[in-house]
Structure 1
């Protein structure tokens, strides 16, 4: 099989030297890629700029991904060429439209005024002299919702990470994500249940039923490989 794995996080640029990012390391994606390679699969690995990556392998192709726009374009190109997508990357929910000193910010906060306003860019690096800065953010596209549109028959494994919620709430949100994205599997996890040694997660199938409960990244990765291969033979 040809497997596309996304791992790590995106970085949305504020200017040429700053960006909004997250703390995702891509470790689970890396381990999952290694298990797919061990199983004889070809792996296309999309990694955030600081994400961990697997060791070189003849059946491994790695692309470094910067922001959500690049990820969208790369996935639109590659998803139709693969058999399965393991979308573990922590994609930014918002990206900067602009950042400006508060003294120059529009007085009116209606959406039309905010969107029409554009600070003059006299330098690539935003000045750090102003004591306060204001940033306007816009929502990024939900890439996982496009995967089945690009390739209806692709096997899709999505991920949902929350923090400090009840298991019932985590399952409910994961089920909602599964329905919206038409994912074949959703890996649901809570950040408070993730440590250096442990990584508790649930795997839900396309009917939103819990089909696995795991305790480590290695176990999660192995189960993703197993479920993906099983699904490919249905």
Structure 2
């Protein structure tokens, strides 16, 4: 099979020296890739600079990205070239990207100037509209500083929502066996499964690996694999999760 795997965590630049990111190490994605490679499959591995990755080998093609936008562009380029047999989307993708930054002083000045044009500050609806317009205009401010000065006591960071990468995978690769991942923190197993089933249905996945951050420590990693019928299987380590995913993907591919 020809497999595409995403792993690691995207980061979004604030300026040339700062960024926001998540704590994903890519270790589970690495283990999944190594398990597919051990079974003789071809793997295209999309990952991030700080994440761990499999050792180089002829059957492995590693592509490096940083931002969610770069991930989207890279995936679309790959999809234009290849119809993958399976996509394992384990990357922790940033929900938001940076839009602009403002010092506390600039923010107050701009907001005050906008509100100052109002005649009646007691008109709550009109006040909300002006604040919303002001925020939209501030968000469109071009961030052209290579390094944001640190002289302000408070820095306001504007974030805007990123597109959901998983939402486009079925449309762009309808033939692929799609495995998505959902991470929650401190929830019951029943809630974890319920949310996983919802994500699976919404994004037309074949499988979802639902896991809770509080059950992950080193190689110990409890994961619940949910199929399109809502049935579940549980693994307790990264190696077990990887083998379970490989087995299920291979089985579904053989039966197509």
The alignment covers a number of residue pairs equal to 233
Q: Of residues 111, 126, 129 in structure 1, which corresponds to 2:151?
A: 129
Instruction: Note the alpha carbon deviations across 1:133-182, whole angstroms, 9 max, x for none.
Output: 00111111111010010011111000000010011111111011001110
- Could you say which residue in structure 1 is the equivalent of 2:92? 90
Instruction: Give the whole-Å Cα distance in 2 for the aligned partners of 1:178 and 1:122.
Output: 40
Instruction: Give the whole-Å Cα distance in 1 for the aligned partners of 2:144 and 2:206.
Output: 48
Is 1:219 aligned with 2:248?
no
Do the aligned partners of 1:94 and 1:139 also contact (CA within 8 Å) in 2?
A: yes
Where does 1:17-166 land on structure 2 (aligned, <5 Å)? 17-79=17-79, 81=82, 82-105=84-107, 106-107=110-111, 110-117=131-138, 118-119=140-141, 121=143, 123-166=145-188
Instruction: Give the whole-Å Cα distance in 1 for the aligned partners of 2:168 and 2:74.
Output: 12
TM-score (norm 2): 0.87
- Secondary structure at the residue paired with 1:207? coil
Do the aligned partners of 1:10 and 1:49 also contact (CA within 8 Å) in 2?
A: no
Instruction: Note the alpha carbon deviations across 1:18-54, whole angstroms, 9 max, x for none.
Output: 1110110000000110111110101000111201010
**Structural RMSD (CA):** 1.4
- Secondary structure at the residue paired with 1:112? helix
Q: Between Structure 1 and Structure 2, whose CA radius of gyration is higher?
A: 2
Q: After TM superposition, give the deviation of residue 83 of structure 1 in Å.
A: 1.1
- Could you say which residue in structure 2 is the equivalent of 1:174? 196
Gaps in structure 2 of 5+ consecutive residues: 116-129
